[in-house]
Amino acid sequence: MTIPRMIGLLIGLTMIGLAVVSARVERARHDRRLQELQIEQARVNERVSQQEMELARLKSPEMIRQRAAELGLLEEPQKDARKKPGTAQGTAGRR
């Protein structure tokens, strides 16, 4: 083998080696970014789960009654609100 061929082969192998190293560095960088994104996704999923639980709690009938009472939207319950049908008060509300 001649010296120019050896130099050419050496340069070719060096370039291939550099390409492999560069590809591995890029892959490591992408793997690290992927891991960061997976961690962030887990955090976001946890937050969404917490928000869904809070929403379900706020939509519960008990919580709605409580908020309505706090805002003064509920009427005070009357003791004799339910009269027997046929009485003056019992039929006044029916139409």
For the stretch 23-34, pLDDT in tens is 999 999 999 999
| Reported pTM | 0.56
Percent of residues, the chain, with pLDDT higher than 70: 79
Would you say residue 95 has pLDDT above 50?
A: no
How much is the mean pLDDT over the chain?
A: 87
Spatial distance between the Cα atoms of 21 and 14, rounded to a whole number of angstroms: 10
**Residue 80, CA distances (Å) to 83, 88, 89 in order:** 6, 13, 10
* Dihedral (Cα; 26, 28, 32, 38), 10-degree rounding: 90
Question: What number is the average pLDDT over the span 58-72?
Answer: 91
Residue range 33-54, pLDDT digits in tens: 999 999 999 999 999 999 999 9
